[in-house]
Amino acid sequence: MNLPLRPTVPAPGHRTTARTAAVIAATVTLTLVATACSSGGGHGAGHAEGGSATASTAPSASPSSSLTADIDHNDADVAFADGMIVHHRGAVEMAALAADRAGSDAVRGLAARISAAQQPEIDRMTGWLQTWSIPGADPASSSTTATAHDMSGHSMSGDTGTAATASPDSASVEHTAMGMMSAGEMATLTAARGADFDRIFLEMMIVHHEGAVDMSRTQLSAGRNPQALALAQDIIDNQTAEIAEMQGLLAAG
């Protein structure tokens, strides 16, 4: 009599070996992904030496608006965020003076818009530096009390550290790196009132914005992080428009 054949069942040891192999394979895969995300010149995610890129997650709808950034970055991204934080603090400090010193609603409103735009960008870039594990990235330091000397060491394009204003009637002809105001200029602006404040503020902020635009152009040519690149383009677009607005206010007297 022929007995029915029973299906072959792997021995328990074989099943254990198969499971172990699957676990090892999964672990190796995750390790390789993690290694890729921590490579790339020591700054982030993986571009293979031959030029092929690892798979990436889908970008967010608004790349520059996140408090955290992709881990992938280079030295130019760090220099941009670090320098622009200080630069923005200078603008926020200047804008804060307009509330009780400006002579026109137009200047007062412009200053309020500058603060409303740039303080969140300070917080955003501070978050990026923390994501990138950059020492000194402390959100508590995002105050409006930065002065011109804080920009020392933050020049992004070989700036010599000073620049002349276009107008001989300006409060001063000296500016620090990337359009930051000197302590003397800030003192002059602080002491001004009414129409004098408006003129000095507009002249200074034009130069300051031009510095931010220059820094952002450097970032577009040298940076790698997608959020930092998106913010650089936003700064160019927004501050170029504000420069034109301020030039119009100056021309109108």
- Domain ranges in the chain are 67-134+161-252
Question: In the CATH scheme, what architecture does the domain 67-134+161-252 have?
Answer: Up-down Bundle (1.20)
The Cα 19–Cα 28 span in angstroms is 14
pLDDT in tens, 82-107: 999 999 999 999 999 999 999 999 99
Write down the pLDDT at residue 134: 84
- In the predicted structure, residue 7 carries a pLDDT above the cut 60: no
Residue 35 pLDDT level (bands cut at 50, 70, 90): very low
**DSSP-assigned letters across all residues of 165-183:** -S-TTSS-S-B-GGGPBPH
pLDDT in tens, 128-187: 999 998 876 654 444 433 443 344 444 444 343 333 333 434 333 344 667 889 999 999
Select the more confidently predicted residue: 68 or 164: 68
Dihedral (CA of 227, 229, 235, 238) sign: negative
Write down the pLDDT at residue 66: 56
The single-letter code of the amino acid at 170 is S
- Residue partners of 86: CB distance under 8 A and separation at least 6: 146, 150, 151, 154, 180
Nearest residue to 89 (alpha-carbon basis) of 63, 65, 125: 125
